[in-house]
Amino acid sequence: MAIDRKNIIDATLEGVGAMNPPVPAGLKEWSVPFDKLGEGAKYYKHDPAEAKKLLAAAGYPNGFPISMCFTTYGSTLLVDIMQLVQKDLKAVGIDAKIDQKEYGAYIATCFYGKFDSTTFGPQTGFLEPDNFLFGQYYPEELKNQSHINDPVVADMLVRQRRTLDIAKRRELIFEIQRYLANKQYYIQMPSSVYVAVWEGAVKNYAPNMGYDYGGRLQAAWLDR
């Protein structure tokens, strides 16, 4: 509730972005729409007054200080977003001091859950919802950065792996996201929307999520 995601989209992504529940919006078939997210949808709305009430109810009427582990990934965009997050947290009483690390040091520590209080940064893009859920939420997984040990979500994560019927698995994935939205173990940030353009003579090519640029170009050819 403290984070103004719409302002982040407007200020850093030229007004073109997508809000993300626990499974990113880019995975359209698996990302639960916000109108089906249930009670947890309220936590994605910018409501600093309610955020302050929740802090007070938790015993922090005056907020508290935190450290925020961070690396730039070589991106000025990520720096801009981090500064907006820091400002939004400050507005509700959470004073975030940035603990900036070199990339290698960040990956070796904060990316794998070794940080003092919080960390901020992107996750790897995937094409399967299990990749976004199991690693981050199942107990003792390497990428379980919030050190979550929740038997309810752990059971659902195992069951969705064993469900072969696509429709039934999708509903279970939606159920997991509704549950996680209420817990807020991670605070999801919005994603940018990319527009790709290439010359008409380039055949057998399309952009895709990943780092294999060479493989993509190996299959492409020019019709000239």
pLDDT band at 213 (very low <50, low <70, confident <90, very high): low
Per-residue H/E/C for 26-88: CCCCCCCCHHHCHHHHHHHCCCHHHHHHHHHHCCCCCCEEEEEEECCCCCHHHHHHHHHHHHH
Average pLDDT score over residue span 46-52: 97
User: Which tens digits make up the pLDDT trace of 105-133?
Assistant: 999 999 999 999 999 999 888 889 999 99
Q: C-alpha angle 165/168/174, rounded to 5°?
A: 135
Average pLDDT score over residue span 128-150: 96
pTM assigned to the model: 0.88
CATH architecture classification, 5-193: Roll (3.10)
Of 19, 25, 29, 26, which is closest to residue 173 (Cα–Cα)?
29
Residue 215 has pLDDT above 90, yes or no: no
User: Which tens digits make up the pLDDT trace of 184-208?
Assistant: 999 999 998 887 888 999 998 877 7
Minimum mean pLDDT among 36-40, 85-89, 205-209: which range?
Answer: 205-209
C-alpha separations of 148 from 107, 140, 142 in Å: 19, 8, 11
C-alpha separations of 216 from 26, 142, 206, 212 in Å: 20, 30, 8, 7
Residue 217 has pLDDT above 80, yes or no: no
Distance of alpha carbon 123 from the chain centroid? 7
The pLDDT mean for the chain works out to: 94
Q: What is the pLDDT of residue 212?
A: 66
Q: Domain residue spans in the chain? A: 5-193, 194-224
